């Protein structure tokens, strides 16, 4: 059975363009493999804790030497890392906030990207400790950020690419839904553009022709 971790990051709930597109992506994955098991984490509803002094101190202590308090300081981090380690496929649905990731996604990153836990330092640079797995990132933005029509910078795409690679995840595909800010047809556009992207990236298998023999 394929395990899918679906992380949603929007505070908009049911009105979220990235969340809607992420749900369509999950529907397509189920259509391709009905046996997938989906674990959902909505960071917009339950944000991870921000890194504090106790976390920062505890993560520098080796596991066997931590006090009970230091272990408790890393408990949420260990839970989120274990969730990520257990998944075969990652779906990340997020809005773009002020040219980059929203605060709740940055908080999740800070919880799971831990030196000597999910990556290690080497003379050649950081090396990820997690296995690679297919990852789909859905990004919704009010303005245009890609190509010739871009009118604002995109720090989200290179940042997430670097973060995931540091974890060890390099098989990443992005779906950008742009210019949604004041579009009265936003819902229809999101559905149409997402389905077109899915047809190109995750096409449904063609039915097998029945034989007369």
Residues 6+ apart with CB under 8 A from 108: 7, 9, 43, 48, 80
pLDDT of 39:
98
Measured CA to CA in angstroms, residue 48 lies from 109, 159, 184 at distances of: 9, 19, 33
What is 3-201's CATH number? 3.40.50.360
Tokens 């230091």 — which residue?
A: 70
3-state secondary structure of 115: strand
pLDDT tier at 211 (50, 70, 90 boundaries)? Answer: low
Residue 37 parent element (H or E):
strand 37-42
Q: How far apart are CA 138 and CA 60, in angstroms?
A: 33
pLDDT tens, residue by residue, 136-145: 999 999 999 9
pLDDT tens, residue by residue, 68-110: 999 999 999 999 999 999 999 999 999 999 999 999 999 999 9
pLDDT of 210:
61
- Contact indicator for 198, 24 with CB cutoff of 8 Å: yes
pLDDT of 20:
97
Q: In what order do the strands lie in the sheet with 3-8?
A: 37-42, 3-8, 89-95, 135-140, 172-177
DSSP type of residue 147: G
Q: How far apart are CA 200 and CA 20, in angstroms?
A: 18
Q: How far apart are CA 65 and CA 87, in angstroms?
A: 29
Number of other CB atoms surrounding residue 145 within 10 Å: 21
């Amino acid at each position: 059975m394929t395990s899918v971790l679906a992380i949603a990051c929007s505070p908009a709930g049911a009105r979220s363009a990235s969340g809607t597109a992420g749900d369509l992506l999950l529907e397509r994955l189920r259509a391709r493999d009905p046996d997938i098991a989906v674990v959902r984490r909505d960071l917009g509803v339950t944000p991870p804790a921000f890194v504090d002094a106790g976390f920062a101190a505890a993560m520098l202590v080796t596991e066997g030497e931590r006090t009970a308090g230091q272990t408790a300081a890393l408990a949420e981090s260990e839970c989120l890392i274990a969730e990520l380690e257990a998944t075969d496929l990652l779906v990340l649905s997020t809005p773009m906030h002020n040219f980059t990731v929203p605060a709740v996604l940055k908080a999740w990153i800070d919880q799971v990207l831990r030196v000597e836990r999910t990556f290690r330092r080497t003379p050649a640079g950081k090396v990820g400790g997690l296995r690679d797995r297919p990852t789909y990132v859905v990004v919704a933005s009010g303005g245009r950020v890609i190509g010739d029509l871009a009118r604002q910078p995109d720090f989200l795409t290179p940042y997430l690419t670097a973060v995931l690679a540091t974890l060890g995840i390099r098989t990443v595909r992005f779906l950008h839904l742009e210019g949604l800010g004041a579009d009265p047809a936003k819902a229809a556009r999101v559905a149409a553009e997402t389905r077109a992207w899915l047809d190109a990236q995750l096409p449904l298998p063609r039915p097998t022709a029945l034989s007369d023999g």
